[in-house]
Structure formats: structure tokens, C-alpha cells
Structure 1
Amino acid sequence: QVIKCKAAVLWELNTPFSVEEVEVAPPKANEVRIKIVATGICRSDDHVINGKIVAPLPMVLGHEAAGIVESVGEGVTTVKPGTEFTLRGCALVHDLKQTRPGTLRSLGTFQQLLLSPFLHFLNTQVTQGSTCAVFGLGGVGLSVVMGCKAAGAARIIAVDVNKGKFAKAKELGATECINPQDYEKPIHEVIMEMTDGGVDFSFEVIGRLDTLMAALLCCHVACGTSVVVGVPPDSQTLSMNPLMLLTGRTWKGGIFGGFKSKESVPKLVADFMAKKFSLDALITNVLPFEKINEGFDLLR
């Protein structure tokens, strides 16, 4: 049956969300309908609000959430109503133009109930004893630091222009923290010198073209891997010399950390419940759904 619930709808650029009632359709084949328990606020959502990422409006945003399966569509056999569920991925948004009037088929997590297909991703593995560089120390960047530590990285170099983030980064596993503004030479050259030739793995978790290139260039020329995590603004392209890859570097994307969600997320939850790591440092504020606009003010 169709269910009514609240959703935060973005009707126009650079305006607050409108919290209003929408109708959510029942799940079709290979879909699940999920009751959202909590959702995170991400800079990618703000890029849509201010127009840096072009998307059709109106829209329900949001892509980092945990919830409980309410109902399942035909063909879904691996979860059932009552199963706990997580959603992650910056592509999880959907415009409302084709659903008004009528029922909503939306993947945005800024609503109390949503529909989702199953998503799967390949894995990116940091090796034991490796050297890593993490560009950007927001919530996702700090999570990358934690992941590198959990994987057994020997050195984790955290890079950010905000020195106020360094203490938390070190608390979560960073071995060194550097600010590009403290150096006269490009930051990739600084890291190359620090690591005697470059890091094994770098992660760009900002979404800027200059830091994407710096993250690639700080990798070892013969065997380094640079992972793109940050979401750059729409309509921007990066010009690069193929020689940067010819000698052996790898450049790849890593949305969702490269995890296959259905298999990997339950293991993460089990590890968290076993106190193998803490997420407390990543949570800065907790707000009720109706204060979503206040949440974005805090983000900015």
C-alpha cells in the first residue's frame, strides 16, 4: 500500500528544505521499502543546493542512512521486513517532477520512508605496513583514516588546511598531519620527500580538481594507487598527462569505500558492536528531522 510520510524537499537552489508530506509507493520487483531511522548530512548534498552539482528540481536529497526494512518487492529473498539496512552513495537522489501528483519512488534519505534497489561495489584494500595519504579531514576523510589504521597501514599522513582537525585525525589513527599552506612547494612534492618516493595509497576526500591531482602525484610512480572519494563540482574536467600513469600508478574511484554493502556492512556493524572501533568522534551533532535546515547551517 501507499504510505504517507514526511520528506525534506528542495524546490529551488539556495533555499531551505521544505518539510512536507509525501506518498511513498509500495516496492516493485527487486526493491525494498525502508523506514529511515537516522541519516547523515554530507557536503555532496550542499553541492546540489548551491548548484555546483546540477540536478533536476524539486528533489529529495540525502544518501547516508540507516533504517529497517518495512516491506519487500517480488524477487527479494535475502532481506525481509524487520531487517536492519544501510544506504550509502552520492548517487542516491531522485527528482520529484515525474511523481507529482501521485506516489513517490525516491532514493533520497531525507524522508521517513524510501524505496531502494540493492547496490554492490568492488573492494579497495589497503595493505599491511603501507603508507597512506588522506586529503580532507571531514567525516568521510576521518573515516578513511580509521579504515587505513584498521587495515594495518604503518604511516597515515593527513592533509587539510584546517589545523583544527589535526587532533581528531591523530586520535583516530593519523601518524602525521600537514597543512599545504605551511609549505612553499606543492604539497605532493612535500609528501614525496616525506615518504622517499611517494605513498602506497592516497585518498582524495574533498572534491577539488587541484587536490585530485595532488593526491595522484604524491603516489609512488611505480606502484602507488590514488582513490577518488570526494565529489567534484559538475561540468569540470581535469587535464592530465598520461605519463603520470604509464610508469605504474593506479587511479580509481572508491565510492562507499569500495565495499559490497550486503556482505561488508554487517561485518562492520559486528566489529563496531565488539568495540573494535568507535564512531563517537565522527558525530558532531544530533538533530530531529524537522531541524534539517539547521543541520546544514552547522555543516557550512
Structure 2
Amino acid sequence: MPFDLGATARLSAECRDPDGTPATATTAAVTIGLPDGTTASPAAVEGDTGEYTADYVTAQAGRHTVRWVFTNPAHAYTDVFDVRPAASTAIMSLAEAKRHLTMVTDDDDDEVRHWVDATTRCVEYFVGPVVVRTVTERHAAACVSCIALRQRPALELVSVAGVLSGGTSYEPDTLSLDGEAGIVSLLSGGTLRGPLDVTYTAGRRIVTANISGAARIILQHLWRTRQGPGRPQLGVGDFDPTEVIPGLGYAIPHRAVQLLNPDSAGPGVA
């Protein structure tokens, strides 16, 4: 499961000889590939024979690669881990998710957070950004009357900067923003000259009940079916024929999609 930014990631690996027996290595090195392309090399410490750990305090959000290399005996191991950004984009809190799933222990908190993140992506596929975030995107159009932002609803323009040397930049107060449509144009009615890097905030100040309700339905569905087969099977655990689970066999139940329809601009707006 992902680590939170700033948390310590404890990495582990085993060194084994060619017969598969745990062995103490002459050297043990671990290299972490960071999202920005740099690397880090925390110290590796052996516990029981052949069992090594390394602690790394996370400093960047995103995918990290891990490469362990041992000598004498020669052995290697490759892994990955993810780090969440500092600003959460989850559609609901962990506490709210657990209440809806009627969970009273902390045993599955990491997995619940994972499925909340998955639920968020599902909802935003239909209605665009829900949690407010800052977006920067490049628009290559050379000479246009307006720009269509890719994330909507858009809330506020932060900056519109020319990319090329000597290119034209625009102050936000000289521009008109249709937040629902995501359309940016000049108040003067003139022409925007690009390419332009547009930075803006997108999301919803108020999350309406139909969106939050759909999120709860999706979360519960994913949670209940996460360890079962993709389609109903009679007499198998949660798939017992005496219990009907609406929408089973689909990642997003139809009733959740119907709840999202009033705010949907079509799948994939995010």
C-alpha cells in the first residue's frame, strides 16, 4: 500500500545463496529510484540471517523503484512502492469510509484507503475533479479565440503564461472563465496567442449528495467484491444465491452511474 509523504518506508529483502538458503552477504546495497529521476541509497541492516531492511524517509510523491544488490553470495531483488501526495484528493475521509463499511477496527485501514482512492477515480471519470486541486496544462493552439480546459469544473485561473521566448502572457483579470464548460477567453474579445501554459484550480467547493452517495455505493461494491470472482458464482462465500448484490460483475453499479448523471459531462472528463 502507498506511504504518506514524509512517512518512513521500511524496505525489506532476503539474500539467498544459489540453493535458496538465507545467507549473510559480504555487501548489501539498496538503491531507490525517485520520481524526479534522482536516487537515494539508505543503509541496509541485517536482522536474522539473510534478512535485510532499510529505512527511507519519503520526500517525493509518486512511484519509487527499489533495487537490492548483494555480493558473496550474488543475489538481487527489485521492487516498487508508491507515495501519496501531501494534499489528498480522496473523495471521502477514512473515518467516513469505515462508517459506511461498518468497520470498527484499524486492521484494514490501508486497504480501505486504497479503495477510496480507486472510488475517487471512478467518480471523477464521470463528473470531473471533485476535490479541489491545482492543475497546469499546456495548450498548443497558436491563435485562437478561446481555450477549452481539460479539467472541469474549473474554479479560478492562476496564471496563463506564454511558453516561447517573447511569447504573450495574460493576467487572469483580463480573461473570462466559464467554469462549468472550462472555456477561457479574453474579456476584450481578442485572440489568444499560444502555446500557453495554463494554471488553474479545478474541483467542487460543495460535493452534492448524489456524488457522495454514488461514491459510497461504488466503495461498498468494490470492497465486498475485492476478493471474489469478477462475476457471480453460486454458493461461493459472498456470492451465495440467497443474497443479491445489485450490479455484481461490474466495477461501477448502474445505480451509482445514475446518481452521477446530473453532474456528468460524459465519461472521461477528468
| TM-score by shorter chain over 0.5 | no
Which protein shows a greater Rg? 2
TM-score, scaled to structure 1 = 0.23
Higher relative contact order (CA 8 A, sep 6+): 2
Structure richer in strand, relative to its length: 2
TM-score, scaled to structure 2 = 0.25
